[in-house]
Chains A and B, each alone.
Chain A
């Protein structure tokens, strides 16, 4: 049987020397919950200084993949490298390069904005003074400078997300993972967050892996990984994937790849 999926990018093993141009390498990762297979031989790469979208419906395995890359779940099969650092052999070095925004909110609601940031900084061994400096800088860049003393509980959903992004950048990672970062936000807040993350790539040279189920968050120039029922169905530039499937646009290309009929809808909020 033919292996499902098309491969546009070079899927050959990336040598360690390529660490500077490759932010994340996932090779042959499989994961099971008991007898149910959540990820099946997943391989893809995320370039440094690039925006890569990880597109998949709910239940495709995106969050499982994030949990494995961040070492919350043990790696059952396969290899993962972050800027050349194997996450099992050099977990500290790998996690240092990594900033993460998880799908569920992980802020301390009763603590203030600044307190949340200082806690995160401490977890990375960043001194108090340095942490305060970086917090102020990031909060003003995220438009949260005036809220620095507010309790997180009093922030809006969009503000919380921006705070989580600020927190993820505090230790100056070179790769940022975001798992459905715009879920539950209104149209305006979604657009702001997305625009901001894109500017991190173009202005700061950070590699971004953006997991989503919303097609309208993806642009033609982006790199794309299509994940469906635990398998990678396509990897490459959006335009290339659309060409390869012979579809009119990404929407029908996705539908064709996943054979789900109409692809995932636009955001409804």
Chain B
């Protein structure tokens, strides 16, 4: 038999092959990230606008008392930094997941899905790669924030990493679940209005929850049940070298539920059939 044709190979894949696949997917996502400067810049500008303009304006309006994990009074900029980190991941998760389901990235999804490795594993790798890219964005943001005098303890930069990985996975799989399941949310504007804004504002990202409770007990409960609140709190505590167990449990549980749901709901046919079945893209 010719050299090009493989001989009989054993069924199944080794651990090394699974790992090779994961590394390859993350590596490619990283390369694309490096090449798409506009995407990177816009991902950074959004939180920076909040930090430089919104936070500066609201500094006098909103006083923050001493609440864990902070041990002193903190400036409003310092308070909203973890919320903005989570916001970067929220946008990134929704954007990359939408493009996985709808046609923007369909060509690349074809390449991915004809891999012989199990489909759930490929999607998992893709989510992990998305989370990795969001982490790069978050660290770039933290660097600029540091120049802006937002200086968490040095160890915090390390301890926040696992929190970011988990919250990145949770938001990525939520995005995938939503874009697989809800037909109306086909464009990003819809996702902004119905997912990103409500999740972001009904959370502890911009104001501590005790303040929300003073204003509206009802909203307080909504915020409590919002998984994004827990992503923010997980990141906030981790950034100061602390662990918020409740948030960890909620974020971990939601990640598992969203991810399993997304893998069941994912149907590549949706992205293709919208364009007409036979023609393919021009």
Contact = CB atoms under 8 A, between A and B. Distances in A.
A204 B280 contact: no
Interface string B1-27: 111111001011110111011011101
A108 B108 CA distance: 7
B278 interface: yes
Interface residues of A, number: 57
A111 B5 contact: no
A239 B74 CA distance: 84
A105 B107 contact: yes
B105 to A, nearest CB: 10
Given A92-B13, A105-B107, A205-B1, A123 B25 contact: yes
Contact of A125 (B6, B21, B273): B21
Nearest to A103: B280
Contacts of B36: 110
B116 to A, nearest CB: 4
Given A92-B118, A122-B25, A204 B272 contact: no
Contacts of B11: 90, 92-93
Contacts of A98: 114
A96 B9 contact: yes
Contacts of B273: 33
Interface in A42-85: 58-64, 67, 70-74
Interface in A136-190: 169, 171-174, 179-180
A123 B115 contact: yes
A103 B273 CA distance: 15
Contacts of A174: 5-6
A172 B217 CA distance: 63
B112 interface: yes
A95 B113 CA distance: 10
B274 to A, nearest CB: 10
B111 A106 contact: yes
Nearest to B14: A125
B269 interface: yes
Nearest to B31: A111
Interface string A95-107: 1101010111111
Contacts of B28: 108, 111, 115, 119, 122
A126 interface: yes
A102 B107 CA distance: 9
Contact of B278 (A38, A102, A105): A38
A100 B5 contact: no
Contacts of A58: 278-279
Interface string A233-252: 00000000000000000000
B113 A125 contact: no
Contact of A72 (B117, B269, B281): B269
Given A72-B272, A92-B11, A125 B23 contact: no
Nearest to B112: A123
A206 B1 CA distance: 10
Given A33-B273, A110-B32, A122-B27, A204 B4 contact: yes
A92 B280 CA distance: 25
Nearest to A70: B114
B20 A125 contact: yes
A103 B110 CA distance: 11
A11 interface: no
Contacts of A204: 2-5
B241 interface: no
B151 interface: no
A4 interface: no
Interface of B: 1-6, 9, 11-14, 16-18, 20-21, 23-25, 27-28, 31-32, 35-36, 106-108, 110-119, 122, 267-269, 272-273, 277-281
Interface of A: 33, 38, 58-64, 67, 70-74, 90-96, 98, 100, 102-108, 110-111, 115, 118-128, 169, 171-174, 179-180, 200, 203-206
The 5 closest A-B pairs by CB, nearest first: A122-B24, A125-B17, A123-B115, A106-B107, A95-B116
Given A63-B277, A103-B280, A125-B20, 16 more contacts: A64-B278, A72-B114, A72-B268, A92-B12, A92-B13, A95-B114, A100-B114, A102-B107, A104-B106, A104-B110, A108-B32, A111-B28, A123-B112, A124-B21, A125-B13, A127-B16
19 contacts: A59-B278, A60-B278, A63-B277, A64-B278, A67-B269, A72-B269, A73-B268, A90-B11, A94-B116, A106-B107, A106-B110, A119-B28, A122-B20, A126-B17, A171-B6, A172-B4, A180-B280, A200-B4, A205-B5
